[in-house]
Amino acid sequence: MSASLVLRRRLAAELRALRIAHRLSQDDVARELEVSSNKIVRIENAQSTVSTSDLKQLLLLFQVGTEDRDRLLDLGRDARKRGGWWSAYTDLLPGPYVQLESAAAEIRNYQPTLLPGLLQTPGYAHATMQSFGSALAAEEAERRVNARLQRQARLTAEDPLTLHAIVDEVVLWRIAGQSQIAEEQFRHLIEMATLDNIHLRVIPYAAGLYASAGNSFAILTFHDPIDPDVVMVENRAGERYFDAAHEVAGFHSDFRHIINAALSEDTTLDLLRKALSGKMGS
């Protein structure tokens, strides 16, 4: 798996479980390894990689058997691997989201004000960047769009990402008001929405003040059940991540409430076709 962050999270979870099983605190482990407590905290939060020497000491401390020891050492080596297309965009994409997205099997995305990046055309992406209020250099804007297109490749790959996307109807009206990008964007949405792995639904104005409306969020689910779901919430202050089971369960509940307010996939497609023909709202 190319997303080292996902493997780092998996290793961190196993090391944390081993420590708890041995009834050791993070301070206890730090003293045994003669390192700072902060280092153990960072390892268990997947905020830093674990060197081979540190990992061997941890596994010795936790009295891990040969088979599990070899498995965890292999996992540690894989988690330290660097790479992926995003490496060329680390100055633009400093957070962990793209790595998590690249390894996800399924994403549930709620966007009340903009289209999800995975469904944006280059024209729409450029327009949203211009709307942020700070002018981007042409080269940087182009790199940001290229990065977005790289992300979108997962939707049509051999083992495609499954995307459940919910947007508010106001998003469609905003697109319709941008004549230079509207036709291309609506055609693209219709094409994407007909793929088996993409489930696009619109929340109509008629839904009123629907339950769980608020900031956009994405729930990422991974191929291996051992990797817990991650939620990313985005607002003006930046990105926040949640992976505690009770927090993630709350977002899953919110997503179900939002789906209940949305049109069906077929009705959403009809609405998109009306928007393309200029008959939306008629």
pLDDT tens-place string over residues 55-86: 999 999 999 999 999 999 988 887 887 667 88
Q: Please state, in angstroms and rounded to a whole number, the distance separating the CA atoms of residues 157 and 178.
A: 30
Other Cβ atoms closer than 10 A to 168 = 23
Report the distance separating Cα 28 and Cα 277, nearest Å.
Answer: 67
Task: Give the model confidence (pLDDT) of 89-148 as tens digits.
Answer: 888 887 788 888 988 999 999 999 899 999 999 999 988 887 665 556 778 888 989 999
**What pLDDT, on the 0 to 100 scale, is given for residue 1?**
34
Looking at the predicted structure, is the pLDDT value of residue 282 above 60? Answer: no
CATH number at residue 151: 3.30.870
**Residue 225, C-beta contacts closer than 8 angstroms, at least 6 positions apart:** none
Is 104 found in the same domain as 24?
no
Q: What is the pLDDT of residue 277?
A: 87
Q: Are 121 and 169 in contact (CB under 8 A)?
A: no
Q: Give the C-alpha separation, 203 to 208, whole Å.
A: 9
Work out the average pLDDT over 15-37.
Answer: 94
Domain that holds residue 45: 4-79
What does the pLDDT average to over 20-44?
94
Residue 60 lies in a domain: yes
- pLDDT attached to residue 213: 79
Confidence check: pLDDT of 3 > 70: no
Q: pLDDT tens, 199-218?
A: 999 999 999 888 777 889 99
Residue 279 scores a pLDDT above 70: no
- The CA distance from 229 to 209, in Å, is 28
What's the domain count of the chain? Answer: 2
Bridging pattern class, strands 230-235 and 217-222: antiparallel
Tokens of 18: 């081993």
Structure tokens at 97: 């989201």
pLDDT value of position 179: 79
Which is more confident, 45 or 272?
272
Mean residue pLDDT across the chain: 89
- State residue 132's pLDDT score: 61
pLDDT of residue 99: 84
pLDDT for the residue 93: 81
Q: What is the mean pLDDT of residues 146-165?
A: 95
Higher pLDDT, 273 or 235: 273
Domain co-membership, 130 together with 236: yes
Judgement on whether residues 126 and 214 belong to the same structural domain of the protein: yes
Assigned domain for 282 exists: no
85: in domain = no
250 domain residue, yes or no: yes
For 249-277, write each residue's pLDDT tens digit. 999 999 999 999 999 999 999 999 999 88
Residue 193: in which H helix or E strand, if any? helix 179-193
- pTM of the full predicted structure? 0.80
Q: Please indicate whether residue 184 or residue 179 has the higher confidence score (pLDDT).
A: 184
pLDDT at position 2 is: 41
- Checking if the pLDDT of 280 tops 80, the result is no
Let me know whether 75 and 16 are in one domain: yes
Domain boundary among 79, 108, 129: 79
Does some domain include residue 246?
A: yes
Which residues, in sequence order, are bridge partners of residue 232? Answer: 218, 241
Residues 104 and 61 in one domain: no
Contacts 24+ apart (CB under 8 A), 139-146: 140/92, 143/89, 143/92, 144/92
pLDDT at 138: 78
CATH number of the domain bearing residue 29: 1.10.260.40
**CA 130, chain centre distance (Å):** 23
In the sheet that holds 217-222, the strands lie side by side as 198-203, 162-168, 104-111, 217-222, 230-235, 238-242
